[in-house]
């Protein structure tokens, strides 16, 4: 029997979103024994998951402070720090150790427990990061080039397991005592099952929280126009955040009063959850309850929308959205863009689709979650305004290109007719400028491959090729920095190169060439969809991959 350990140490929502991944692992033959290693605080969530055989717990509060102090130490020092913590798990001798947590401590733990059997995000024996899944490399690449993540995190996780099932769903288990609690609660508070509107005011970061005053305005609209009860949910720390909302007529506050299983059972009895991007949102989806998700700050609906069909995602239509993880927003303009009246009209339409969805502010984008018929993965379908934005169009163009690269089914870029023309000349010029350099890099790698076969190996010539390739990388990174969608292409190629493990030079060259071939495929497919509108100097327009000599690199940089 194969024994697999999966690390989930960061967020409750991520643990819930991994259900299809865990299901995919169990679908393998012979059926494996799946272990979970989780942060102790998430133990109640793990009990709700339909797939897990053994659960191990760890307290990050015990290990993170010393790890932070020793963050500059090498892998051996970190090994000594964790040795007592992981000794028991190492003895389990897991066949695979999957890390779906994108933090340095989890990467180190993955190596210490599983060594070369580590999967997902880990480190090598020298302590350098390795991303051993193309889908997670994609996730990292697009996180560094927001807002162009085209796939939901649930699908990204599931694809890591190599499972291409057309049906994915998250169904969480109920606990009997929690169901009894919710049933009694509804009877005592005079709540009608299936009617209340639930609200979750909190979020992990302040930038992702819709203002409390907006929730209060929404609750008042629900009471006056819909005659429905409102149930306010949240952690005990969020009582002060809710403030006056909990004292309003028609509002039942359960902030700090429910366990995780009880929260799930309460959600099952609600009509809709109005929520920021939170773990509660994913619990609701797992309970079969529709979600009206308000995504602000660093939240991105295409990446973390509640999984399943029929959920609604509202996001601000602002050029700065979503926020970068690298910079702190000081204006919070997105919070002012999403108004309570507008959210009420969307909620009204969700409860009764016969109600026209009209008068939606031009300052927001509204999407419905649906299954993409081409790849059977979740996507966001624009609802209002009806006209797709430039970002929506770019998503539509890039998604099938990424799918082919990530599944390994890429050879020749699709020769499609231009999909749209608005605003494409600048993007196309950037991509067209980079393509000849990618082809030149591939030619240089062909040269290096030939040099490797010579006896004795011409090390000086190999060194010159390596230096030329490094210079090309600088030029390529600069050329593709001009737009986030192109930057995601380069980030993916760079991560792919950084994750090459084999020490044999011939294999390193072959895998590096594959990374450039994927980059070339993405750029060619992108250009074909935009149409050929190049602003390159004429002397470079007809260059193929072997036409650019080393001496032209500095001139290319200045072009």
Tell me the pLDDT tens digit for each residue of 226-266. Answer: 999 999 999 988 888 888 899 899 999 999 999 999 999 99
Q: Which two tokens stand for residue 124?
A: 């090598």
Grade residue 555 by pLDDT with cuts at 50, 70 and 90: very low
Neighbours of 210 (CB within 10 A): 26
Grade residue 554 by pLDDT with cuts at 50, 70 and 90: very low
- What pLDDT does 243 receive? 86
Say how far residue 90 (Cα) sits from the centre of its chain.
Answer: 29
Query: Above 50 in pLDDT, residue 537?
Result: no
Helical ranges in 229-359 per DSSP H: 239-242, 260-268, 279-286, 301-304, 333-337, 340-351
Mean pLDDT for the stretch of residues 151-176:
85
Minimum mean pLDDT range among 54-68, 320-334, 361-375, 512-526:
54-68
Mean pLDDT for the stretch of residues 463-467:
93
* Structural element, H or E, at residue 22: helix 19-27
- What pLDDT does 270 receive? 97
Considering the domain architecture, whether residues 435 and 462 belong to the same structural domain is answered as yes
Considering the domain architecture, whether residues 489 and 440 belong to the same structural domain is answered as yes
Considering the domain architecture, whether residues 77 and 181 belong to the same structural domain is answered as no
Domain count, the chain: 3
* Greatest Cα-to-Cα distance within the chain, rounded to the nearest angstrom: 86
- What pLDDT does 106 receive? 85
Q: Which of 262, 298, 296 is nearest to 280 (CA)?
A: 262
Mean pLDDT for the stretch of residues 434-451:
94
* Residue 406: inside a domain: no
**Whether the Cβ atoms of residue 516 and residue 449 lie closer than 8 Å to each other:** no
Query: Above 90 in pLDDT, residue 558?
Result: no
- What pLDDT does 261 receive? 96
Q: Rounded to an integer, what distance in angstroms lies between the CA atom of residue 281 and that of residue 283?
A: 5
Q: Which of 532, 529, 559 is nearest to 437 (CA)?
A: 559
HSE (side-chain half, CA atoms, 13 Å) at 545? 14
Mean pLDDT for the stretch of residues 475-490:
93
Return the CA Rg of the chain. Answer: 26
Query: Above 70 in pLDDT, residue 150?
Result: yes
The domain boundary, picked from 160, 188, 203, lies at 160
**Whether the Cβ atoms of residue 49 and residue 15 lie closer than 8 Å to each other:** yes
Q: What is the DSSP string of 447-513?
A: HHHHHHTSSS--HHHHHHHHHHHHHHHHHHHHHHTTSHHHHHHHHHHHHHHHT-----HHHHHHHHH
- What pLDDT does 226 receive? 93
The domain boundary, picked from 387, 416, 441, lies at 387
- What pLDDT does 81 receive? 62
Cβ-based neighbours of 213, under 8 Å, separated by 6 or more? none
Grade residue 455 by pLDDT with cuts at 50, 70 and 90: confident
Helical ranges in 125-238 per DSSP H: 134-143, 153-160, 176-189, 212-221
Provide the domain limits for residue 38.
Answer: 3-160
- What pLDDT does 416 receive? 60
Grade residue 9 by pLDDT with cuts at 50, 70 and 90: confident
* Residue 199: inside a domain: yes
Phi, psi of 409 (to 5 degrees): -95, 55
- What pLDDT does 97 receive? 94
Query: Above 60 in pLDDT, residue 420?
Result: no
Interior angle at CA 157, CA 155 and CA 158, nearest 5? 65
**Whether the Cβ atoms of residue 99 and residue 107 lie closer than 8 Å to each other:** yes
HSE (side-chain half, CA atoms, 13 Å) at 372? 18
- What pLDDT does 59 receive? 80
CATH number at residue 332: 3.40.50.2000
Cβ-based neighbours of 199, under 8 Å, separated by 6 or more? 215, 218, 219, 230, 231, 232, 233, 245, 273, 274, 275
277 vs 442, 450, 466, CA distance in Å? 42, 52, 45
**Whether the Cβ atoms of residue 307 and residue 288 lie closer than 8 Å to each other:** no
Share of the chain above pLDDT 90, in %: 56
Query: Above 70 in pLDDT, residue 293?
Result: yes
Query: Above 90 in pLDDT, residue 90?
Result: no
Phi, psi of 448 (to 5 degrees): -60, -40
Phi, psi of 107 (to 5 degrees): -65, -45
Considering the domain architecture, whether residues 375 and 284 belong to the same structural domain is answered as yes
Number of helices (H) and strands (E), helices first, in the chain?
23, 14
- Beta bridge partner(s), residue 312: 292, 368
Q: Rounded to an integer, what distance in angstroms lies between the CA atom of residue 234 and that of residue 213?
A: 16
* Residue 498: inside a domain: yes
Q: Rounded to an integer, what distance in angstroms lies between the CA atom of residue 406 and that of residue 248?
A: 51
Q: What is the DSSP string of 63-119?
A: HHHHHHHTTTS-HHHHHHHHHHHHHHHHHT--SEEEE---SHHHHHHHHHHHGGGEE
Q: Rounded to an integer, what distance in angstroms lies between the CA atom of residue 216 and that of residue 233?
A: 14
Q: Rounded to an integer, what distance in angstroms lies between the CA atom of residue 490 and that of residue 481?
A: 8
- What pLDDT does 438 receive? 96
Q: Name the residue with higher pLDDT: 362 or 203.
A: 203
Considering the domain architecture, whether residues 310 and 277 belong to the same structural domain is answered as yes
Mean pLDDT for the stretch of residues 493-511:
91
Q: Is 3 helix (H, G, I), strand (E, B) or coil?
A: strand
* Residue 418: inside a domain: no
Query: Above 60 in pLDDT, residue 421?
Result: no
Q: Which of 12, 7, 20, 300 is nearest to 160 (CA)?
A: 20
Considering the domain architecture, whether residues 351 and 244 belong to the same structural domain is answered as yes
The domain boundary, picked from 102, 131, 160, lies at 160
* Residue 217: inside a domain: yes
Considering the domain architecture, whether residues 111 and 188 belong to the same structural domain is answered as no
Query: Above 50 in pLDDT, residue 541?
Result: no
* Residue 412: inside a domain: no
* Residue 359: inside a domain: yes
Considering the domain architecture, whether residues 430 and 501 belong to the same structural domain is answered as yes
Considering the domain architecture, whether residues 249 and 313 belong to the same structural domain is answered as yes
């Amino acid at each position: 029997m194969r024994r697999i350990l999966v690390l989930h140490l960061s967020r409750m929502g991520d643990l819930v979103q991994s259900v299809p991944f865990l299901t995919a692992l169990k679908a393998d033959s012979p059926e494996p024994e799946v272990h979970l290693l989780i942060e102790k605080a998430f133990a109640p969530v793990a009990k709700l998951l339909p797939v897990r055989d053994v659960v191990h717990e760890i307290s990050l509060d015990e290990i993170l402070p010393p790890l932070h102090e020793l963050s500059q130490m090498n892998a051996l020092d970190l090994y000594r720090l964790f040795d007592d913590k992981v000794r028991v798990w190492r003895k389990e001798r897991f066949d695979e150790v999957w890390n779906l947590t994108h933090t340095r401590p989890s990467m180190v733990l993955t190596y210490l427990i599983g060594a070369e059997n580590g999967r997902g995000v880990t480190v090598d024996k020298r302590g350098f990061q390795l991303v051993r899944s193309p889908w997670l490399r994609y996730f990292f690449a697009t996180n560094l080039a927001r807002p162009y993540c085209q796939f939901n995190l649930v699908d990204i996780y599931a694809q890591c397991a190599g499972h291409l099932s057309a049906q994915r769903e998250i169904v969480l288990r109920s606990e009997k005592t929690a169901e009894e609690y919710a049933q009694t609660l509804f009877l005592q508070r005079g709540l009608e099952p299936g009617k209340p509107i639930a609200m979750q005011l909190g979020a992990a970061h302040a930038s992702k929280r819709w203002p409390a005053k907006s929730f209060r305005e929404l609750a008042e609209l629900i009471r006056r126009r819909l005659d429905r009860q409102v149930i306010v949910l949240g952690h005990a720390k969020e009582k002060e955040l809710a403030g006056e909302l909990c004292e309003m007529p028609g509002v039942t506050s359960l902030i700090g009063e429910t366990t995780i299983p009880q929260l799930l059972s309460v959600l099952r009895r609600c009509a809709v959850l109005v929520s920021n991007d939170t773990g509660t949102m994913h619990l609701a989806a797992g309970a079969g309850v529709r979600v009206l998700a308000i995504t602000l700050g660093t939240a991105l609906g295409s990446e973390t929308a509640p999984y399943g069909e029929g959920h609604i995602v509202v996001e601000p239509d602002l050029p700065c959205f979503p926020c970068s993880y690298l910079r702190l927003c000081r204006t919070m303009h997105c919070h002012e863009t999403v108004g309570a009246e507008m959210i009420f009209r969307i909620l009204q339409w969700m409860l009764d689709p016969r109600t026209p969805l009209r008068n939606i502010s031009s300052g927001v984008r509204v999407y419905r979650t649906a299954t993409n018929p081409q790849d059977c993965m979740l996507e966001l379908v624009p609802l209002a305004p009806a006209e797709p934005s430039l970002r929506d169009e770019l998503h539509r163009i890039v998604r099938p290109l990424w799918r082919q690269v990530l599944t390994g089914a890429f050879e020749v870029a699709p020769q499609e007719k231009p999909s749209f023309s608005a605003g494409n000349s600048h993007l196309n010029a950037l991509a067209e400028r980079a393509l000849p350099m990618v082809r030149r890099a591939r030619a240089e790698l062909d040269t290096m491959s030939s040099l490797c076969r010579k006896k004795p190996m011409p090390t000086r010539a190999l060194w010159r090729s390596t230096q030329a390739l490094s210079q090309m990388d600088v030029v390529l990174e600069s050329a593709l920095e001009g737009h986030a969608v192109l930057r995601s292409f380069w980030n993916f190629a760079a991560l792919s190169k950084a994750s090459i493990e084999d020490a044999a030079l011939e294999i390193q060259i072959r895998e590096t060439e594959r990374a450039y071939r994927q980059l070339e495929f993405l750029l060619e497919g992108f250009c074909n969809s935009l149409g050929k509108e190049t602003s390159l100097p004429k002397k470079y327009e007809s260059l193929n991959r072997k036409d650019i000599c080393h001496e032209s690199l500095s001139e290319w940089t200045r072009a």
